Amino acid sequence: MREAIDLGFVTVTPWHLANSIAIATAGLTSLWRLQRAGYPRSLIIRGMVLTIAVGVAGTAAAYFIVGLTDGFIKQGVWRPTVSGSTIIGALVAGSLTAYGLCRWHGISPGRALDAGLVPVPLGQAIGRIGCFLAPCCTGRPTDSWLGMMLPDGAGMWARRYPSQLMASFFDLLIFAALLLVERRAGGLRHGAPGLPFPGFLTLLFLGLYCVKRFALEFTRTEPRWLGPLSWAQLASLAGLLVVFTLMAVNIRRSRQDGTKT
């Protein structure tokens, strides 16, 4: 499942190929959406390049922190016990970078993020196919009807949850849900005036991602930190708290502004 493709000057694995397609698909779709929303092309490209670069760095940095913490929890020393990357780091680092760039250029962060982040779950869905082919992010063994004969990262075959394919399916559902909400709110071209506040789609995406990640972690073989909960589930719970808080604050603010006008 993880045969590499030798192109002569470089060797490409299915994981690299799928993730390259994922970044290109989400990036080009975001570029189209941001241009349609009225933002300058040159500014969009500079912002996207920086956001993607910081996001990619965030994937490894976040998992390095996870590895250090896991080592401290299990062995009492600050030594990495796991290695890899995580999309959670990319989402946090990339979102904060995009938010800061919008503030720097005097652009409404909420509207810009709503336009630019909607294609992200589409990219995630494609990227998870690469995880399935790698294989990485493998599911735990199960006798459930959902199980498939699959290898883990060490090549050990067993009947496992196809957690990568399940994640890809739910990412596509999230993408479709965001498009549906946006369309019912008036559409991208008109700035979706029916949304409760600018940035609503961004927070909705992050909230749905946290719910999806929390649920699917029960099918994966990630290290457990607190009882049956993995580090990603704890991060998802923290993310949901932040999302609900920001939603409540923004809804209250928009109602107050509506009352004043």
Per-residue pLDDT of the chain (261 residues; tens, 9 = 90+): 556 666 666 667 888 888 889 999 999 999 999 999 989 999 999 999 999 899 888 887 877 777 777 666 666 665 655 555 678 888 888 889 999 999 999 998 999 999 999 999 999 999 999 889 888 888 999 999 999 999 887 788 999 999 999 999 999 999 999 999 999 999 888 788 899 999 999 999 999 999 999 999 999 887 778 888 988 899 999 999 999 999 999 999 888 876 543
Give residue 88's pLDDT.
82
- 217 has which bridge partners? none
pLDDT score at 190 = 79
Phi and psi at residue 160, to the nearest 5°: -130, 160
- The pLDDT score that the predictor gives to residue 61 is 81
Res 75: pLDDT: 63
pTM of the model: 0.88
pLDDT (0 to 100) of residue 224: 78
